Amino acid sequence: MIYATGDTHGDYSRFKDPQIKKLGRGDTLIVCGDFGFFWDGSKKEEQVLKKLRSKDFTIAFVDGCHENFDILEKFPESTWNGGMARVIAPNIVHLMRGQIYTIENKKIFTFGGGHSQDIDFRRNQDWWEREQPTHEEIKEAMLNLEKHNNTVDYIITHEPPASLKDCLGVDVFQRLEVHAFFEDIIKTCKYEKWFFGKCHIDKHIPIKFYALFNNVTPLK
């Protein structure tokens, strides 16, 4: 089975959730951004990563607005389930922007990154410009979707489509190019469900949209 959950921010307690404890060999857990377990390279962090590497299931994540891209980008890119990814460990995978993966015969389009609301506080200490998607990444995403006839089963992003902000009760302070791209996806692509993590709430927005935080939700 394939499951999705919201931002973990390097907090191992999410993996003590009874729902996650039920996952086993062959299952995949997708984190919708702000994974956060690659942050400072400390001994404590390595101990936590050792626990994650011992899990029987696959942990896959899109990057969010609170990642250490200097650490993430040290891991080489390779092909994984039909798309480019960083395979950090046999069961830990960074799902890259604009890629389409086939997992359990389901096509999953991923696009991480976004805009930090706390950028003014973090800019001079732990903010990375690479958290914001680039025009080149969006162009590659468009080409990949076209190769699949603009049809996938599921979409996993960190940012929500901007048009959902009223439903979510949050503001989008900065319009990024990716926001316009997501609106185009809504209009031109066929998909069953769209999951995102940035808003730190658990909410289903009928018919196809799912904001995730603590919930662990099966994709199908």
- pLDDT tens sequence across 116-144: 665 555 565 665 578 889 999 999 999 99
> Which band of pLDDT confidence, cut at 50, 70 and 90, is reported for residue 163?
confident
Structure tokens at 63: 């990057």
pTM: 0.93
Confidence (pLDDT) at 162: 84
Mean pLDDT, the chain, as a whole number? 91
pLDDT for 131? 86
Check residue 42 and give left, alpha or beta (phi > 0: left; psi -120 to 50: alpha).
beta
Tens-digit pLDDT profile for residues 15-31: 999 999 999 999 999 99
